[in-house]
Amino acid sequence: MTKKKTKQKKCIRKYTAIPLLKMSKNHAIKFYTGGVDVKKWSSLTPNEKKEALRKSWYVRWYFLNPKTNKLERQVNIKSGVNRLSKMTDRIKRLKKIKNHVKKAIKDGYSPFEKINDNFETEKKYINIKDALKKAHDHSNLTVSKVTSNDYFYAKEQFLKFIGSTNQLKDIKEVNKTTILKFLNQKLEKTSARTRNNYKSSLSALFTVLENKLNLIERNFIKDISNEKTKVKTDRTFTKTELKNIVDWLKYTDPYLLTYIRFIAYNFLRPVEVNRLKVKDINLEESLLYFQAKNKPLKIKRIPSIFIDDIKALNLHLYNAEHFLFTPKNEPAEWNSSDNSRRDTFSKRFKIVKNKFNLGSQYGLYSFRHSFITNLFRYLRSVEKKSYSEAIEVLQPITGHETRVALERYIHQIDADIPEDWSDKIDFIL
């Protein structure tokens, strides 16, 4: 390590307090300046300065408790300090706060006797559960119901984690370490994708706490990086594989088979199937309504080949707000996130995969790939449509937003396989 780096490292401290008022008979005041000694600010690297300014700066003060005759720490005083982007401006603000405190004490103020409005302190104790509920309620004003459900489930899971692992109560006690412990736990139990989804939902709520409700100084969750996820493209089934799966499920798990048919016949994504409720099925007009994330409600035609299967569910006997597919094998309430509901049926399908020795490259998504591939090739080979014509027919059926998106999808799943070109080769090896 170079002398310069050694010098820089020495000036970084976990906690640096600058006494601004000597210990007196009844109080003491200090500054917290982001974990660095501001006297050595010029020797810090740009990154060290940036990191220090990201942290919360405040006046840390103590007052003599007349009952215990001991100095006791009071609520930190920020008063807009952390809205300032320059170190010098923050120090000026902290000094100004100090002077307010000094004057208030000189005038007879005691935190143990009365409330004084001469200076601004941190907000009162705010329960974590209440704070997150406020954030969720506020987010409901602008986000879709699907997104709101994701936020709600992430919030509930985090509160459950908080309750079982530590004694945190105040929202201001939640820090980056707390969030990382929660996310790491989810990573161990689920997947990188699910962990990242939890992070995204919590970050959205903490942004509301910061920018809309002013209950925290800063949303530090947005600084946490996502875990890398494996790019997975589910493989399409052969016709033989499809037949074997269907024949087996007819007798072992017809409910799962119906779930799969929504994917295959209506080209829904598994997560979209899990969002379906009883009220979303209109058998009179052969329509279904579904919610794509962060998008308006969409409508699809239910093909006649699938109508009888849906009628067999007797949906008129169930609450319109119940989810169509649940672990109970019938419509019911299911208080869980989209991803969790999807994963439940993915695990259920794993039994099928084990039965037919299907590898990790196969999943529920494979049915969507397979039936889109089958339809595209039918349009090309049987109806003799050009590539462009086939795309034009296919797009409103699959529900892709743009022609480009569908073309990219067709290419990704290798649906457009050319005919045998052997007769075009005039040189044989």
Average pLDDT, the chain: 83
- Cα–Cα distance between 117 and 58 in angstroms, integer? 18
Q: How confident is the model at residue 417 (pLDDT cuts 50, 70, 90)?
A: confident
Q: How confident is the model at residue 408 (pLDDT cuts 50, 70, 90)?
A: confident
Q: φ and ψ at 174, to 5 degrees?
A: -75, 125
CATH assignment at residue 273: 1.10.443.10
Q: Is it the case that residue 103 has pLDDT exceeding 50?
A: yes
Do 404 and 334 lie in a common domain?
yes
Do 164 and 251 lie in a common domain?
no
Residue where one domain finishes, among candidates 106, 140, 164: 106
383 belongs to a structural domain: yes
Q: Is it the case that residue 282 has pLDDT exceeding 60?
A: yes
Sheet holding 297-301, edge to edge: 281-282, 287-291, 297-301
90 belongs to a structural domain: yes
424 belongs to a structural domain: no
Share of the chain above pLDDT 70, in %: 88
Do 146 and 54 lie in a common domain?
no
Do 47 and 151 lie in a common domain?
no
Do 243 and 390 lie in a common domain?
yes
The mean per-residue pLDDT over the stretch 115-144 comes to: 71
Number of domains in the chain: 3
316 belongs to a structural domain: yes
Q: Is it the case that residue 120 has pLDDT exceeding 50?
A: no
- Cα–Cα distance between 376 and 303 in angstroms, integer? 16
Do 297 and 383 lie in a common domain?
yes
Do 194 and 313 lie in a common domain?
no
> Model confidence over 287-316: pLDDT tens digits?
998 876 556 678 889 999 999 999 999 999
The count of C-alpha atoms lying within 13 angstroms of the C-alpha of 416, restricted to the half-sphere facing its C-beta, is: 14
CATH assignment at residue 135: 1.10.150
The count of C-alpha atoms lying within 13 angstroms of the C-alpha of 28, restricted to the half-sphere facing its C-beta, is: 13
Q: How confident is the model at residue 122 (pLDDT cuts 50, 70, 90)?
A: very low
The mean per-residue pLDDT over the stretch 415-424 comes to: 77
152 belongs to a structural domain: yes
> Model confidence over 346-379: pLDDT tens digits?
999 999 999 999 988 899 999 999 999 999 999 9
Residue pair 258/313 in contact (Cβ under 8 Å)? The answer is yes
Angle at 405 (CA atoms; ends 393, 350), nearest 5 degrees: 95
Do 181 and 244 lie in a common domain?
no
Q: How confident is the model at residue 4 (pLDDT cuts 50, 70, 90)?
A: very low
Do 27 and 98 lie in a common domain?
yes
- Cα–Cα distance between 8 and 291 in angstroms, integer? 53
Do 72 and 185 lie in a common domain?
no
Q: Of 47-56, 187-196, 365-374, which one has max mean pLDDT?
A: 365-374
Reduced to 3 states (helix: H, G, I; strand: E, B; else coil), residue 236 is: coil
The mean per-residue pLDDT over the stretch 184-196 comes to: 86
Q: Of 8-22, 56-70, 120-134, 381-395, which one has max mean pLDDT?
A: 381-395
165 belongs to a structural domain: yes
50 belongs to a structural domain: yes
- Cα–Cα distance between 143 and 205 in angstroms, integer? 11
354 belongs to a structural domain: yes
Q: How confident is the model at residue 233 (pLDDT cuts 50, 70, 90)?
A: low
Q: Is it the case that residue 415 has pLDDT exceeding 90?
A: no
Q: Tell me whether residue 14 is exposed, middle or buried, using C-beta atoms within 10 angstroms of its C-beta: 0 to 12, 13 to 18, 19 or more.
A: exposed
> Model confidence over 203-216: pLDDT tens digits?
999 999 988 888 88
Do 219 and 175 lie in a common domain?
yes
Containing structural domain, residue 367: 239-412
Q: How confident is the model at residue 230 (pLDDT cuts 50, 70, 90)?
A: low
pTM score, whole prediction: 0.53
The predicted pLDDT at position 405 comes to 86
The mean per-residue pLDDT over the stretch 186-194 comes to: 83
Do 154 and 280 lie in a common domain?
no
